[in-house]
Amino acid sequence: MQSRSKRLLRASEMDISGDKVPRRPLAKLMFYLRAVAHCVDIEDLCDVRRWTDFPHYHLLTGQEADGVARLCFVLSPDVLQLKCLKENDSNRGGFDTVFYDSDHAKTRWDHAVSDSITLRGSVLRVTKVMECRTDWLQEFYYQPIKHYEHVMEGAKMTFRLESSSPRLARNSQTTYGTFCTASCV
């Protein structure tokens, strides 16, 4: 039987300590994406190393920053809930976020874990399950994503266009730039 320490990976062990995140919306979203990248294999969707390097958020281009926001939008807590994310405000040893190995999480929560997530035609493998506090999600997802509403509106417009006319949506021009829907970002 696995020891509890092998099944349970605390935020500090995963280098996911929120106290070191710069107070900028982009850095916070990059931090959120880093946590998600510990749970879901997103290697094919972006340059994970660059897009999750939150201490160096200022080195991203404007296009990359918009890409981070779009990918976070697509990988929102609502999408990940009951697949690889569980909100829990109880005290877990003082940590805001705890990561569980998928097998352990399946036995712990029965239906609350998936092996994969289908996202806009891509199947993403779930590797771990993240249990986090509601206030952690507020600080590192819900508040900073508001600063990228213009990007989200462009992405929503592209998704609507794609459902009505896939050919038109392949490269749809909006006020905020061209959004390619093939890979979510």
Tell me if 111 is assigned to some domain.
yes
Tell me if 165 is assigned to some domain.
no
Tell me if 123 is assigned to some domain.
yes
In this predicted structure, what is the pLDDT of residue 68?
94
**Number of domains within the chain:** 1
Task: Note down pLDDT in tens along the chain; length 185 residues.
Answer: 444 444 444 443 444 556 689 999 999 999 999 999 999 999 988 999 999 999 999 999 999 998 999 999 989 999 898 788 888 877 555 667 888 887 777 777 665 678 888 877 788 999 898 888 899 999 999 999 998 886 666 655 555 545 444 443 343 333 333 333 333 43
Enumerate residues 6+ apart whose C-beta is below 8 A from 78: none
Using CA atoms, how far apart are residues 102 and 114, in angstroms rounded to an integer? 8
Per DSSP (E only), the strands in the chain are 8-10, 85-87, 97-101, 116-119, 122-125, 128-132, 171-174, 177-180
Tell me if 155 is assigned to some domain.
no
In this predicted structure, what is the pLDDT of residue 174?
37
pTM: 0.73
Tell me if 126 is assigned to some domain.
yes
In this predicted structure, what is the pLDDT of residue 93?
59
Using CA atoms, how far apart are residues 137 and 22, in angstroms rounded to an integer? 16
**Domain span at 109:** 4-146
- CA dihedral (44, 45, 50, 52) in degrees, to 10, reads -110
Tell me if 153 is assigned to some domain.
no
Using CA atoms, how far apart are residues 80 and 128, in angstroms rounded to an integer? 12
Tell me if 161 is assigned to some domain.
no
Tell me if 66 is assigned to some domain.
yes
Q: What is the β-pairing status of strands 128-132 and 171-174?
A: unpaired
In this predicted structure, what is the pLDDT of residue 173?
38
